Chain A
């Protein structure tokens, strides 16, 4: 498979991935480079503004949306290893700024970029483990990474398609395949009892598949479930899709 080596993308590593899961950013970078894509990382990037928006302070995210547009509008694509952040940029930035945003239009989650733009059909990676796939809400219902279980549309799952290229992997999915894990940004601190209950149930359904890892395109959901798993000493590991797709690079 030959990719356009002249293609240069802007890499957006959301704030919490930057601070808590830099390995996800590194995996994304390595994966994209291995596929022949030029990667630039504008260093003054910070956050897409979603945490404020979901909390009800979208007006405090206007400068961030503006800055994002300035930093990324010249790239052919902007790629982020976080479905929820990519969705926020793409669908909410134009509303916040009240105009079309060049960068927002071209912002894709890593899975979308690999699946729809590069149309990746082989990968050299190996991951001989059982994983349970976490179909996160904004990935499913905003970006369309998989067919929402509520809808009568042909079934598909872009994350599964990509993971299927990895040697040795066993991909499982929990019961209630795309029910929310209960993160929801500030929802998890404002409604901690419900959020924890949702997360605990989600963890148990993932674990019931017999998987060693829970994987998904959103570190935020994984962080939420990881926090609960740790508190309850549940024996399950977490890994971002990018890390699996780049395993062995």
Chain B
């Protein structure tokens, strides 16, 4: 009885120290979020409002998308529609080719991960430089994000230093970056000082900002009433990416739309508080049209979203604004890391989105949930994440992905529990199990004995005590 997740998780858990670090890092983000939540009397009202706004918007999506397109076009933007990842990648390539772009600087966008844009562009000879520090580290290490907001938080600074050395960043920028940061005489090649490393990364990225011909951003929000794009970052890299190159390409999933700035006020207050435990991100950038003499393209991507909208049981996942709070609170995510999941978005929302994307590949993640329901209570837009995971589990049998042993155990329980006489006689014999040798009850197939001793059956069940003793006194 195991899934790809449970196998990967067991491996991750072998390094106890790493698990502790991973867990504590994300728990501290959860704690910061709580502190901010308790400071706002209107917290639960904000969540309520966010839930209603998103429900309203996604159920009136066609209207809002048209309104958005009209306004964005009026602002001088060029709006494209992509039905899937392939079409999206082609649109990007076409725009880049038209402008003879050789290098793109890109601020963080999970949508581009979803569509595998970077690989597509590399194959066409176009260089893509991630400019979010975490994303850049991962790109240099050739790794995928293990969290959607803090993608490289599982990497230690020693690993970052090693990577920067290998990639020549320290050789190129180390001396400059060390000035005033590292004590005189300290070898930049030996240092893993975070300020020093960040500075080296800044110089490295600055060169790329200056030489790229195109800046790409994602979109945290699209505002239908004005045609604006809102991007929230802590590093200002979205602004840098769009300040030097004249060409700006925005990639936005169609569910990122909200009606107006009144709604934006609600989400602005929720996003960073949930995502990183900050009252706001350091930069909240509003883009309305191209820079003078430049072009701004907005690609609206469906890639399965409209079919999710038609899914009665799971459409509410479209409310998600990718804050990552459900991962930070998930006791399983915190202890198993992002790479234990088969989908690129881990944690409770990733379990659900993975199933919607490709159930045959991603059903393995459904085991990664103890149904503690903490995610439901942190979610700023009230996606019923745990209920949805429960529902997916009910569908596994029909998809021929049910675990054979779990099914057999459930069938066995069904037979015993549906026949009270059989049940009570089983109760009578159950204590015999206590006397069974450990080698029988502790067989490897039994996941329980991995970390537990077997529970001890009572000599007399409650049923028996009731019949022999309590029944007569209760009258």
Knowing A57-B410, A184-B370 are in contact, say whether A191-B5 is a contact too (CB < 8 A).
yes
C-alpha spacing A147/B209, complex, angstroms: 49
Q: Which residues of the other chain, B, contact A38 by a CB distance below 8 angstroms?
A: 474
Do A137 and B40 have beta carbons less than 8 Å apart?
Answer: no
Classify the interface of chain B: helix, strand, loop or mixed. Answer: helix
Query: Is A126 at the interface (CB under 8 A from chain B)?
Result: no
B410 touches A55 (CB 8 A): yes
CA–CA, A152 and B377, complex, Å: 10
In contact, A13 and B367 (Cβ under 8 angstroms)? no
A183–B394 touching, CB < 8 Å: no
Contact indicator B455/A223 (Cβ below 8 Å): yes
B376: interface (CB < 8 Å): yes
B13 and A193 form a contact (CB under 8 A): yes
Point out the residue from A142, A190, A231 that lies within 8 Å of B452, measured CB to CB. A231
- B393 and A55 contacting across the interface, CB-CB below 8 Å: yes
Determine which of A43, A61, A148, A193 lies in contact with B377 in the assembled complex, contact meaning CB atoms within 8 Å. A148
Asked whether B423 lies within 8 Å of A197 as measured between CB atoms, the reply is no
In this complex, the interface size class of chain A, counting residues with CB under 8 Å from chain B, is 35 or more
Q: Distance in Å from the Cβ of B77 to the closest Cβ of chain A?
A: 39
User: Is A210 in contact with chain B by the CB < 8 A criterion?
Assistant: no
A142 CB, nearest partner CB in chain B, Å:
7
State in angstroms the CA–CA spacing of A118 and B468 once bound together: 29
Whether A5 is near chain B, meaning CB under 8 Å from some CB there, is no
Q: How many residues of B contact A (CB 8 A)?
A: 80
Q: Which residues of chain A come closer than 8 Å to B283, judged between CB atoms?
A: none
User: Cα distance A141–B5 when bound, in Å?
Assistant: 25
Verify B463–A18 contact, CB threshold 8 A.
yes
Of residues 6 through 63 on chain B, the ones whose CB sits less than 8 Å from some CB of chain A are 6, 9-10, 13, 19, 23, 27, 34, 37-38, 40-41, 43-44
- Evaluate contact between A47 and B448: CB separation under 8 angstroms: no
Most chain B CB inside 10 Å of its own CB: which residue of A18, A141, A151, A191: A191
Contact at B372–A141, with CB atoms within 8 Å? yes
* B35 to A: closest C-beta gap in Å: 11
- Whether A171 sits at the interface, judged by CB under 8 Å, is no
Chain B residues with CB below 8 A from A178, complex form: 374
The residue of chain A having its C-beta at the shortest distance from the C-beta of B42 within the complex is A152
Once the chains bind, are B393 and A190 in contact (CB under 8 Å)? no
Q: Considering the chains assembled together, what is the distance between the CA atoms of A28 and B332 in angstroms?
A: 33
> Is there a chain B Cβ closer than 8 Å to A196's Cβ?
yes
Q: Let me know if B465 and A193 touch, CB within 8 A.
A: no
Compute how far the CA of A62 lies from the CA of B451 in the bound complex, rounded to whole angstroms: 32
Contact of A56 among B406, B420, B456 (CB under 8 A): B406
| Closest Cβ neighbor of A176 among chain B residues | B27
CA distance A64 to B416 in the complex (A): 11
Whole-angstrom CA separation of A54 from B403 in the bound complex = 13
State the Cβ distance, B175 to closest chain A Cβ, in Å: 44
Q: What B residues does A117 contact at CB under 8 A?
A: none
Query: Could you say which residues of chain B place their CB within 8 Å of the CB of A59?
Result: 394, 397
- B461 and A187 contacting across the interface, CB-CB below 8 Å: no
Q: Which of B19, B376, B393, B470 contacts A26 (CB 8 A)?
A: B470
Residue B3 contacts which of A183, A190, A200 (CB distance < 8 angstroms)? A190
Q: Beyond the given A20-B455, A63-B418, A191-B367, please list 6 additional residue pairs across the A-B interface where CB-CB is below 8 A.
A: A19-B457, A20-B458, A39-B474, A52-B414, A176-B27, A194-B6
User: Which 10 residue pairs spanning A and B have beta carbons closest together?
Assistant: A196-B451, A227-B452, A184-B370, A189-B447, A56-B393, A192-B450, A180-B372, A25-B462, A150-B377, A152-B43
The 5 sampled A-B contact pairs (Cβ below 8 Å) are A22-B461, A137-B370, A150-B374, A151-B44, A187-B367
Enumerate chain A interface residues (CB-CB to B < 8 A): 13, 15, 17-23, 25-26, 29, 33, 38-41, 43-47, 49, 51-61, 63-64, 67, 137-138, 141-142, 148-153, 176, 178-180, 182-201, 223-224, 226-228, 230-231
